[in-house]
Structure 1
Amino acid sequence: MITSKCTLTIDLDIIRDNYRALQKICTLTEVGAAVKANCYGLGAEQIAPILANFGCKYFFVANTDEGVTLRERFSKENLNHKNLKICVLNGYFTADRDDFINYNLIPVLNSFKQLELWRNLSHQLNKKLSCFLHIDTGMNRFGIPEGEFNDLVQNANELDVLCVMSHLSSSEEPDNQTNKEQLMKFKQLASLFPNAKKSLVNSSGIFLGPEYHFDIARPGVAIYGVNPTPYLQESVIKNPVTLEAPIIQIKDLDKGQHVGYNRTYELGERHLIATLPLGYADGYPRSLSNKGIVFINDKPAPVIGRVSMDLITVDVTKIPPEELFLGQTVEIIGKNMSLDKIANLAGTNGYEILTMLGNRYHKFYKY
């Protein structure tokens, strides 16, 4: 049967193995999981329960909508979900009051104002509410600045501060002095909450060494197959993602003809080209125009012409004729083209590639 649909296959065993590899490195540290953005596009509904069954107790989402969906999923799976802590990284806002109460969500408080709002709710409910505190140690993107810290310490005693956390800005660069500066700042400020757990590292931060690990690690992208140690030739993290597209048209073009929008590619000789049904609407970056590479039976075929919304064209002149036919499977991401390789070609990172993967693919989960 010939199809025009692309397929995205996610190997859940590899995701589990990636999580296990991180646990083995963090021998004295609990390993949580960033499951925001639908597990970076791969499917929180399928992945989060697997991580919970493998010992993960701390789940980090971006906003309350993600938290509500995750709590409902845990409940549906009959997991002991009340012991699973869902932490909302964007913090608490009064518009989300009922969601935090009804779905047992924990805010990561990022400012003194958020702390006041959460403390007010604590007074209204007449109980001590749990929270994480996010302190800014130099990234200057999110978190409680050092100037607000004295007020924070004085007012946080009315709350159940489970954990004090911060975020490294350059953890994928082990020689960057910023990592040590943030570590020292974090130790200094977090020590003012001696009874709370501490959390500093994301995926790459785990590989900076045990001194950075503290009580809770918060890996995300490494679980889903992006290399957290780009400075090393080998990685313990494996790619669980295979994206495949079928050939839906083949054309024989003469020298001097052009391909795609704005005629950015001119044929210097006679070529055979194939059209594939994916484009930037599916998360295949437009920046891969005239730069991308796909594979047919492990043989490379370069992307030629502009990546359009729904289609790309590839040069298949060097592919054996018997391997070219309508419906032939073409590897977009897989054993020959990892998430990191395609990100490098596109001039971005694996995070963006993962989260851009579109909703039009047929998703298959391999167990």
Structure 2
Amino acid sequence: MSTGKLTIDLAALADNWRALDSLSRCETAAVIKANGYGLGSAQVAKTLAQAGARHFFVAIAEEGAAVRQALGQGPRISVFSGHMPGDRDLIAAHDLTPMLNSIDQMLHHVEALPGHRFGIQLDSGMNRLGMEAAEWAALRDIALSQDPTLIMSHLACADEPDHDMNARQLRNFVEMTDGIDVPRSLSATGGILLGRDFHFDLTRPGVGLYGGMPFAEARPVVTLDLPVIQIRDIEAGEAVGYGNTWIAQRPSRIATIAAGYADGLLRAMGPKAQLFAGSSRCPVVGRVSMDLITADVTDLPQDPDTLSIMGPAQTVDDIAEAAGTIGYEILTSLGGRYQREYHS
């Protein structure tokens, strides 16, 4: 194969959901937006449904339609972006639940789909999506008379347990929803780990399902093996890759691997990233280019046919740290050229 092999461990995915579910006494949903964090929303949704998830969250209605086709009727599929113009037919045909974010969305939804199920998203301090306190106060009685199925908000700093924003948003959310007889949800993966005060009636784990931080106990879900196209010998003083940014300090053996930033392996990771032959490290040398990465394999006892960049020896968060980003970006950037192989 001339493309990398992305192996997805569905059993680990299910185990991660069960582990996060065990940390609360409430319902545990699953966030499978962005094509199941880049791993395939149909396969991810079916696996998590078999594990016990009955409520799924996506970012946009089109994602919800794809998940409904994979799951069939039964599980609830909620849409974070709410009811956008042009979404009416998708929401109705695929029985999606928009999480309404504003008065305008509320009016549009009840006019376009009277009686159709919806939820409400409140802004407890993140200033991104949801109704602010004054907006919610003006609409609250009218909205509650329409029987919303869920009221939710989202934490800005849940991956930093000691950040005072967590307590502030919890307090704001309680003040906005206290006394309401509607299920409530505040926490994704990080919020689950903050403890039961943050759990309410439903949690919505996302990145922790896929092996990412801040869920340190997660089982790794993704392995990425890359084929070696060519290996060459270079002398001390010779350069490798664009810009001559890496110059050999000794006679070296350099492997060129079939992957690059077009495949979600970010250019910024180059100076700090490693590839692996088993447990042996092979540092990336030179710049990551669109389709190719070069690595120093001088110290290997034999030439490799493939090198691993993601797996037991190097997690998605290790790669993210090398690139100065987060595991979410690495996962959701994994390109379409990989051969995807699912293990259950």
Aligned counterpart in structure 2 of residue 109 of structure 1, from 100, 108, 122: 100
Matched, 1:21 2:19: yes
Matched, 1:222 2:199: no
Deviations 1:10-58 (A, max 9, x none): 01000010001011111x1100000100110011111101211222111
Aligned equivalents of 2:45, 2:308: Cα separation in 1: 27
- Tell me if structure 2 keeps the 8 A contact 1:62–1:88: yes
Deviations 1:138-191 (A, max 9, x none): 000111111201222132144221111000000011100110010011011012
Aligned equivalents of 1:53, 1:318: Cα separation in 2: 45
Residue of structure 2 in register with 1:68 after alignment: 65
Which 4+ stretches in 1 moved above 3 angstroms?
none
Aligned counterpart in structure 2 of residue 42 of structure 1, from 39, 44, 63: 39
Amino acid at match of 1:197: P
SS of residue in 2 equivalent to 1:363: strand
Normalised by the length of structure 1, the TM-score is: 0.91
SS of residue in 2 equivalent to 1:294: strand
- Tell me if structure 2 keeps the 8 A contact 1:291–1:304: no
Residue of structure 2 in register with 1:159 after alignment: 146
Residue of structure 2 in register with 1:121 after alignment: 112
Matched, 1:51 2:48: yes
Give the Å deviation of 1:121.
2.4
SS of residue in 1 equivalent to 2:208: coil
Give the unaligned 5+ runs of structure 2. none
Aligned equivalents of 1:53, 1:16: Cα separation in 2: 8
Matched, 1:188 2:185: no
Deviations 1:74-120 (A, max 9, x none): 12xxxxx2x31110110102311111111111100011110111121
- Tell me if structure 2 keeps the 8 A contact 1:122–1:159: no
Aligned equivalents of 2:211, 2:340: Cα separation in 1: 17
SS of residue in 2 equivalent to 1:188: helix
Deviations 1:252-311 (A, max 9, x none): 101111110111111122111110000000011100122210111210010000100000
Amino acid at match of 1:7: K
Residue of structure 1 in register with 2:81 after alignment: 90
SS of residue in 2 equivalent to 1:180: helix
Higher deviation after alignment, 49-58 or 348-357: 49-58
Residue of structure 1 in register with 2:190 after alignment: 204
Aligned equivalents of 1:207, 1:30: Cα separation in 2: 15
Aligned equivalents of 2:112, 2:129: Cα separation in 1: 22
Deviations 1:110-139 (A, max 9, x none): 11110111121244xxxx222111100100
Give the Å deviation of 1:248.
1.3
Aligned equivalents of 1:265, 1:53: Cα separation in 2: 49
Aligned equivalents of 1:71, 1:332: Cα separation in 2: 33
- Tell me if structure 2 keeps the 8 A contact 1:203–1:228: yes
- Tell me if structure 1 keeps the 8 A contact 2:120–2:151: yes
Identity of aligned residues (%): 41
Give the unaligned 5+ runs of structure 1. 76-80, 230-234
Residue of structure 1 in register with 2:259 after alignment: 278
1:286-325 equivalences in 2 (<5 Å): 286-320=267-301, 323-325=302-304
Normalised by the length of structure 2, the TM-score is: 0.97
Aligned counterpart in structure 2 of residue 99 of structure 1, from 80, 86, 90: 90
- Tell me if structure 2 keeps the 8 A contact 1:29–1:214: yes
Aligned equivalents of 2:272, 2:217: Cα separation in 1: 28
Matched, 1:350 2:327: yes
1:326-345 equivalences in 2 (<5 Å): 328-345=305-322
- Tell me if structure 1 keeps the 8 A contact 2:88–2:113: no
Aligned equivalents of 1:334, 1:35: Cα separation in 2: 21
Give the Å deviation of 1:4.
2.3
Amino acid at match of 1:110: N
Q: CA RMSD, aligned part only?
A: 1.2
SS of residue in 2 equivalent to 1:187: helix
- Tell me if structure 2 keeps the 8 A contact 1:119–1:158: no
Aligned equivalents of 1:242, 1:54: Cα separation in 2: 21
- Tell me if structure 1 keeps the 8 A contact 2:254–2:297: yes
Residue of structure 2 in register with 1:78 after alignment: none
Residue of structure 2 in register with 1:264 after alignment: 245
